Structure 1
Amino acid sequence: MNAIDRTNDMPRRRFVALSGALGAGALLTGTGASAAAATGPDPVPVPVPVPGKPSCCPCPTDPMPPGGPSPCPPAQMQSLCGLPSDTDPLWQEVQYCTQGIVPPSGQRPDCLKTTPHYAVLHGRPPSPRNYLLLPSCRITGIECPFLVSPNVANYWHEAWETGRSGGDVPVASLNIGLGINSQSARRFQQLHIHMAGVLPSTQLRLQALEAAGRVAPHPSQWAATQYRAPITGADGSGDRTYRVLGLDALTQNLFVLLNQNVVGPLGLDMAGQTLIVVPKMTAMGFARSFYVLNSDSSLPSGTNTCDHLLVY
């Protein structure tokens, strides 16, 4: 199992109060376990890239949202977002990559990419399609209210640009998936976006849902029941229910979209949510759109981990 643990959820009222203290503008701008190697991908037709050429000739990128360097959570949020002095292993690895501080274990991680905003490391277990993107700020996870502030870095956009074909740390899978676990379904307490693969059958299922009008066309419709759909897991655990949204780009803050359009209206907790992003792929390559999936334990056959769909 990849980065799984048990912790206590934070009450939603406390999250909303602290995120609101950062400014309502943030909310108004709107801006699994590994599949067994022996089974492999589903035997379904998928586009095959031309040798020596990127799959989307060249793969187009999304524009970066405006804004300068991202600050880190203020001191008043450290009880929820973590202290810089914390000893979480992933946070210690980030500090090594960004500040050169050797972890107490003496083991130096392989820093695959380091920027002022984030670092990219190998996932566990290491593989050519298992990477993690971690903020350089101390942010425990999805429950941190700083993630819905106006100036937070766009970690999802950066994960896609880094892990796509032609990116600095490309995921060795034609169908890429990005995911984050809930607070209770993670092992390490430093926010990390999984950069991995998804099965071709997952890609085809999402495209079939879109063709049937079962993908929400706008974030304001994301919580509607007609956009909930079962999707078969890559780990053999059967179908899980997800809320499915379509986006043309990852320039908006997905944490804000989730909090504003699903968590708030349905009276849920951010701490209990999982988020998964699957770029749409066709025979021509990247189709310049994304499926954004959300689930939690309040849904029938819901889940609070991304591990059911991602292939590490």
Structure 2
Amino acid sequence: MNDQQNVQEVPRRQFVALSGVFGAGTLLTGAAVMSGGTAVAANGVDAGPAPDACRTTPPPPGGANPCPPASLQGICGRPTDNDPLWHDVQYCTSGIVPPPPQTKPDCLKMTPNYIVLHGKPETTHNYLLLPTCRVTGIECPFLVTSGPANYWHEAWENARSGGDVPVQYANIGLGINSQGARRYNQLHIHMAGVRPSTQRRLQELESQGRMATSASQWANPANQAAVTGSAGDRVYRILRLPNLRDNLFNLLYTNVVRPNSLNMADQTMIVVPKMTATGFAGAFYVLNSDTSIHDGTSTCDYLLVYS
């Protein structure tokens, strides 16, 4: 399992009133800090198609960096929580040094909405994107609303070839673990590699019509398939999307979790951009799984390549 580490405490944030799906309340807004950190190198490891070097889509619609309201701190986390990745966020946004024995992280990119850090182990194809808001993970109900920034789109824009923190690997994968499968309790999207075999398998399933092309069909058992990873075959629900402009957390909750009386905290998600010999092919495979599926999994770590 490769659910990441590092440290830092208490960001500089501003409390404002939130009205909307949760009613009037208090929320944290991340203050802007910009720096020029960039992670580049030439690794590559797996043979495969060369990534696309062109910027994809303009920034998607999303929240203006709002955070969960105070009423959700019981499930989404409190600013005073002692979590290593949350300490990392606080160091990068506020300069507050992490408590021993943790060390200062390398803040590779900082924006009002998110930061990017090295993953562990530190390689040129293992990074993390973390909200500047206090958000424990996938179980936080605020993530399925229109409030949050589109963290998945931002992860892709950073990880792609030509991005600010590019993943130096022939094929890229983005992933998030379930609550039970992760080590740290600050939301983090893994930006890593995937094997050429994973890319080939997904394209094969697409050609066979064995994946959903609309979110409403995502939970259909006909759109479940085995994909081989580091721990053998695991079964995933597979959805093909033309872009990442929609809130993937909301798509998952609305079309898979709620209709099937599942638990959002148990879900894992992996996004694999479709690649061809000429580069990015303008589509994304979105994989979801949990242990309610026969041979399913609640971790993204089987498909992502970190080291």
TM-score normalised per structure 2: 0.85
Please point out which of 253, 275, 288 is paired with 2:269: 275
Contact 2:21-2:145 within 8 A present in 1 as well:
no
Q: Tell me the amino acid that sits aligned with residue 96 of structure 2.
A: I
Specify the alignment match of 1:263 in structure 2: 257
Contact 2:62-2:146 within 8 A present in 1 as well:
no
Contact 2:290-2:296 within 8 A present in 1 as well:
yes
Q: Assess, with a 3 A threshold, how the Cα gap between structure 1 residues 240 and 281 changes in structure 2: closer, same or farther.
A: same
Size of the alignment, in residue pairs? Answer: 270
Q: Tell me the amino acid that sits aligned with residue 159 of structure 2.
A: G
Greater RCO structure (CA 8 Å; 6+ sep): 1
Specify the alignment match of 1:46 in structure 2: 48
Q: Does 2:220 correspond to 1:221?
A: no
Please point out which of 113, 122, 126 is paired with 2:122: 126
Specify the alignment match of 2:30 in structure 1: none
Distance in 1, Cα, partners of 2:115 & 2:107 = 7
TM-score normalised per structure 1: 0.83
Contact 1:4-1:185 within 8 A present in 2 as well:
no
Distance in 1, Cα, partners of 2:216 & 2:242 = 15
Specify the alignment match of 2:14 in structure 1: none
**1:144-186: CA deviation from partner (whole Å, max 9, x where unpaired):** 0010121210000000000110000000111000000000000
Q: Assess, with a 3 A threshold, how the Cα gap between structure 1 residues 166 and 4 changes in structure 2: closer, same or farther.
A: closer
Structure 1 unaligned segments of length 5 or more: list them: 6-19, 24-39, 50-54
Distance in 1, Cα, partners of 2:248 & 2:299 = 17
SS in structure 1 of the partner of residue 258 of structure 2: helix
SS in structure 2 of the partner of residue 300 of structure 1: coil
Distance in 1, Cα, partners of 2:237 & 2:143 = 21
Q: Assess, with a 3 A threshold, how the Cα gap between structure 1 residues 100 and 290 changes in structure 2: closer, same or farther.
A: same
Q: Does 2:79 correspond to 1:84?
A: yes
Q: Tell me the amino acid that sits aligned with residue 175 of structure 1.
A: N
**% same residue:** 64
CA RMSD, Structure 1 to Structure 2 (Å): 1.7
Specify the alignment match of 1:241 in structure 2: 235
Specify the alignment match of 1:154 in structure 2: 150
SS in structure 2 of the partner of residue 156 of structure 1: helix
Distance in 1, Cα, partners of 2:252 & 2:175 = 14
Distance in 1, Cα, partners of 2:161 & 2:117 = 17
User: Structure 1: which 4+ aligned runs deviate by more than 4 Å?
Assistant: none
Specify the alignment match of 1:97 in structure 2: 92
Q: Tell me the amino acid that sits aligned with residue 258 of structure 1.
A: L
Higher helix share: 1
Distance in 2, Cα, partners of 1:116 & 1:137 = 9
- The structural deviation recorded for 1:65 is 2.1
Distance in 2, Cα, partners of 1:139 & 1:66 = 20
Please point out which of 56, 59, 71 is paired with 1:61: 56
Please point out which of 241, 245, 261 is paired with 1:251: 245
Distance in 2, Cα, partners of 1:60 & 1:97 = 26
Distance in 1, Cα, partners of 2:110 & 2:84 = 17
Q: Does 2:138 correspond to 1:138?
A: no
**1:179-206: CA deviation from partner (whole Å, max 9, x where unpaired):** 0000000000100000000000000000
Distance in 2, Cα, partners of 1:122 & 1:60 = 22
Specify the alignment match of 1:11 in structure 2: none
Q: Does 2:194 correspond to 1:198?
A: yes
SS in structure 1 of the partner of residue 122 of structure 2: strand
Structure 2 unaligned segments of length 5 or more: list them: 6-19, 24-44
Distance in 1, Cα, partners of 2:237 & 2:142 = 24
Contact 1:118-1:136 within 8 A present in 2 as well:
yes
Q: Does 2:175 correspond to 1:179?
A: yes
Contact 2:62-2:148 within 8 A present in 1 as well:
no
Please point out which of 286, 297, 305 is paired with 1:303: 297
Contact 1:214-1:227 within 8 A present in 2 as well:
yes
Specify the alignment match of 1:115 in structure 2: 111
